[in-house]
Amino acid sequence: MKHYKNGLIKPPILRSGVEKERERHATWLELLYDLVFVAAISQLSVNLNKDYSFFGFLNFSILFIPVWWAWIGHTFYLTRFDSDDVIHRLLTMVQIVAVASLIVHVPSALGESTNGFALSYAAVRSMLVLEYWRAGRHNRPVRPLVNRYMIGFGCAAALWVVSTFIPMPHRFIVWYLAIGVDFFAPLTAGALHVKFPPHLVHLPERFGLFTIIVIGEAVVSIVMGIKAGHLISSSAAAAIMGLIIVFTLWWGYFDGVKGAGTRQLTSKDHVRAYQQWLYSHLPLTMAIASIAVGIRRVMALPASEMLPFQESWILSASIGICMLSLNTIFLSSYPGRPPDEALRFVCPHYALAFLACVVGGLGTIISGIAVLGILTALSVLLILFSLRYLPE
């Protein structure tokens, strides 16, 4: 264990404005925390694969949002107040256990395990409130922001607990209310985000790492669907096209729109742009996970067989949503009104996103692998368009 001059227990300090930490990166403890969410994304994808329909996707979305928000909460706390002392490590371990419990309850979270899922999520948020209380106790100037988070996240956690006493399906109304309160707390912080900004290098890197987690899960899902002895088959062809799509998403995020690039946060316009960048990751990561499941469904089909109507639409719409999310992330680099050059740059991308969404309608007249081939071509075109020169 690392020894500190001030002992094993160190008070949290506001780190985002520390000059010597301009190039701060993720810690080993943060990466360990991320590993739990590898399991979470995997379990959510398994759930979606069991019911790849409009209703199944709705259920997948309901569960994905609190899982994603649990990761967001811990990440935003660490980008400002990470102390890496014994107390923080123990609190993080408790959160890891709570997230693990959350994952265990995912398969039946909308049925017999709703109470377990709700209580697990409430535990995750309660630990976050405790960490913010500790940060506010040692950092008086930052208390206005910390108190806002404690009230918002604490009320949301309480609502999740209250939901366990309400019969179904009405308890889900309390879930939606709790998620709304959770999202509302940081959205109303306004100028406090400018006064106490998150670390402008560390936080985008963390979001890039979470995106890599979801992309990595997609790669694993596709590769695991290939059976030895079937490398020359429609299944293998579908897998290759799927990997090309995943590669284009990686390229589009990290190079095309610089999703993990440094962000500025010095004005209200920057705050709006930062929130646009932040919340665009939710549909992006959800859609990537959905794409992986859709590709697996195509891989399981005979070469000439068509995808079921709903599956074709979900797969194509998921790719379209990814393209739209990448556009939104790109435009968040321009606080206020984007320049004309930027708008001209994204116009073809919007056209490709629209085409990707409507390809699902072809699922009733052409085979599933043909639908996937068209979506692969559109994904490659997205990268080709992103290679065009754009003035800084």
Quick one: how far is CA 329 from the chain centroid?
13
Q: What is the mean pLDDT of residues 359-366?
A: 89
In whole angstroms, what is the distance from residue 382 CA to residue 255 CA? Answer: 12
Question: What percent of the chain has pLDDT above 90?
Answer: 62
Biggest CA-to-CA distance, the chain? 70
Domain boundaries along the sequence of the chain: 25-195, 202-386
pLDDT score of 255 more than 70:
yes
Please report which confidence band the pLDDT of residue 268 belongs to, taking 50, 70 and 90 as the band edges: low
Q: What number of CA atoms fall less than 13 Å from residue 317's CA on the CB side? A: 13
Contact between 127 and 162 (Cβ < 8 Å): no
Q: What is the mean pLDDT of residues 362-375?
A: 92
Q: Copy the structure tokens of residue 28.
A: 């080993």
pLDDT score of 18 more than 70:
no
pLDDT score of 262 more than 60:
yes
Please report which confidence band the pLDDT of residue 17 belongs to, taking 50, 70 and 90 as the band edges: low
In this prediction the pTM is 0.91
pLDDT on residue 1: 37
pLDDT score of 391 more than 50:
no
pLDDT on residue 3: 42
pLDDT score of 5 more than 50:
no
In whole angstroms, what is the distance from residue 40 CA to residue 376 CA? Answer: 27
The model's pLDDT over 206-247, given as tens digits with 9 standing for 90+, comes to 999 999 999 999 999 999 888 765 566 788 899 999 999 999
Q: Copy the structure tokens of residue 167.
A: 């019969």
More confident residue, 362 or 13: 362
Please report which confidence band the pLDDT of residue 67 belongs to, taking 50, 70 and 90 as the band edges: very high
pLDDT on residue 257: 85
> Residue 379 contacts by C-beta under 8 Å, 6 or more apart in sequence?
244, 245, 248, 249, 319, 356
